[in-house]
Amino acid sequence: MSLDKQAAAFIRSAQAGLTSQRRTVAAPQPTTTTSAGPQTTLKRKKIVDRSKPVPAPIVYSQPTDTSLMGQHILTQVHHAVQFLKSRESPQTMQQIASYLSISMTPSLLEILKRNERITYDASADTFEFKPIHNIRSAQALLAFLQQQTTAQGLSVKELKDGWSGAIDTIADLEERSEILVTRTKKDNQPRMVWINDRTLDVVVEEEFRNIWHKVVIPAPGELPGELERAGLKPTSVDPATVKKDVKATQKGRKRTVNRRVKISNTHMNGILKDSKDLKSGGWKK
């Protein structure tokens, strides 16, 4: 054997010895080797249960029909309702689609027909905004207020829903004394309206008005004293702070005594004589 062959055999035996030591120390569990060579790689098999179906991975992403241009169907419905609200008149399907800059889809058309704020006319194939109150003129407002059976009034906020000219019409009717209006303190905007019933107008005679204006009202600081001198109690005085004369009240009251007497000897009625009329001189006859 040549020297080169001996050296090669020695290297193979040394490598085999190192491999056996690695198996003994690093791998306490039995493993299988694929091939015998200068370097041995250990692989652990992963057990997969093929009986259970593998769930599909969930992909999280935005819907494909959403964008800044309002392509989502709910956004389209909102814009369509606002468009009909601003027009205040029936609009066709083509007019709505032109405003939205889209082609009308069957799903959007069906949602618009069933929307509670939209009135669909099947005969004319038109859509119209449905306000809270079907009022869009001064005559309609007066007729609605005259039909009210209570004094609750009508909210201006509800009137403006679908009627852009509500504020101007209210100001005109108020100037002509056709309606009564309450306004907000902050910006003096109308808040509630009522019908001004002219039958309740009362004409006061000039003589009575002169007498009314001649009545002198005391100054605010003198008003409590004037009320007390007149025998009246000012509303600004707390009733708990008013001291009452307890002794005078007790003297004025008469104590009533309820005496309950049990009547006995009922079987002697007619035999015994009543002694209530008895006096010092004897029986009263």
Is the pLDDT reported for residue 110 higher than 70? yes
Take residue 218 and report the two structure tokens written for it: 């005391």
Dihedral sign of CA atoms 205, 206, 208, 212 in order? positive
Question: Tell me: the pLDDT tens digits for 152-196?
Answer: 889 999 998 888 889 999 999 999 989 999 999 888 899 999 999
Residue type, 61: S
pLDDT number for residue 105: 86
Higher pLDDT, 106 or 61: 106
pLDDT digits (tens, 9 = 90+) for 35-61: 444 555 555 656 656 666 666 665 544
**Whole-prediction pTM:** 0.46
Strand partners, 190: 183
Q: What is the pLDDT of residues 119-141, one digit of tens each?
A: 999 999 899 998 888 898 999 99
Q: Edge-to-edge strands of the sheet including 154-155?
A: 154-155, 190-195, 179-183
Residue 138: the pLDDT is 92
pLDDT the model gives residue 87: 87
3-state secondary structure 98-157: HHHCCCCCHHHHHHHHHCCCEEEECCCCEEEECCCCCCCCHHHHHHHHHCCCCCCCEEHH
Give the Cα separation of 138 and 230 in Å (integer): 52
∠ CA 203-206-209, rounded to 5°: 90
Q: Which two tokens stand for residue 245?
A: 């004369």
Kind of pairing between the strands at 91-92 and 179-183? unpaired
Q: What is the pLDDT of residues 221-262, one digit of tens each?
A: 888 888 888 888 766 666 666 555 555 556 556 666 666 666
Give the pLDDT of residue 150: 87
Higher pLDDT, 67 or 106: 106
Distance CA 102, CA 99 (A): 8
Beta strands, E only, the chain: 91-92, 118-121, 126-129, 154-155, 179-183, 190-195
